[in-house]
């Protein structure tokens, strides 16, 4: 059973937070192990497994990047430790930003942050329609574009983390 089946919602890249929260509380009451104390060991085990799965699912759905990652994995388009090849022009842009950061005394951090934000908005705009409107059965081509976005965003997030430390 995948997270979408557990929550009884269609596979999607953006999950409605309010509906998700309500469904989470409904399911957590339904599968909470305390309600199965007098049940058979099999039923207790199943309730415990569902409760654990429910908690993993809600943590995933609460983070948009994790939801995207989960859907891509569910569709067999993303593997752990995958060596994804990003486009050279994007890598050059990131290299320029990293070079600016190598000299912290002369780096204009506000300008670098603005550049990262602009790049982030640009890469999201190219997949906005797919991310916000994806439904089970849509073309794999759209998800492959989302995969590239996902890896680009991870790159930008690492730079943002460097700026924060």
Could you report the per-residue pLDDT of 71-124, keeping only the tens digit for each?
999 999 999 888 999 999 999 999 999 888 887 777 788 899 999 999 999 999
Are 75 and 45 a contacting pair, CB within 8 Å?
A: no
Percent of the chain with pLDDT over 90: 70
pLDDT of 50 > 80? The answer is yes
Are 69 and 150 a contacting pair, CB within 8 Å?
A: yes
Are 57 and 3 a contacting pair, CB within 8 Å?
A: yes
Long-range Cβ contact pairs of 17-22 (< 8 A, separation 24 or more): 17/62, 20/58, 20/61, 20/62
Q: What is the pTM of this model?
A: 0.89
Q: Other CB atoms closer than 10 Å to residue 34's CB: what's the count?
A: 8
Q: Which CATH superfamily is domain 3-62 in?
A: DnaJ domain (1.10.287.110)
pLDDT of 129 > 90? The answer is yes
Token pair 């000299």 in the structure block, residue: 103
pLDDT of residue 132: 96
pLDDT of residue 118: 96
Are 100 and 59 a contacting pair, CB within 8 Å?
A: no
């Amino acid at each position: 059973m995948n997270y979408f089946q557990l929550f009884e919602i269609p596979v999607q890249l953006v999950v409605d937070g309010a509906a998700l929260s309500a469904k989470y509380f409904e399911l957590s009451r339904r599968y909470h192990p305390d309600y199965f104390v007098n049940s058979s060991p099999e039923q207790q085990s199943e309730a415990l497994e569902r409760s654990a799965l429910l908690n993993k699912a809600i943590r995933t759905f609460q983070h948009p990047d994790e939801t995207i990652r989960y859907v891509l994995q569910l569709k067999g388009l993303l593997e752990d430790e995958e060596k994804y090849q990003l486009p050279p022009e994007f890598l050059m842009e990131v290299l320029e930003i990293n070079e600016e950061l190598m000299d912290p005394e002369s780096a204009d951090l506000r300008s670098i942050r603005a550049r990262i934000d602009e790049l982030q908005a640009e890469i999201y705009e190219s997949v906005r329609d797919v991310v916000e409107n994806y439904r089970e059965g849509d073309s794999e081509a759209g998800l492959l574009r989302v995969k590239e976005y996902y890896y680009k965003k991870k790159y930008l997030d690492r730079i943002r983390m460097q700026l924060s430390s």
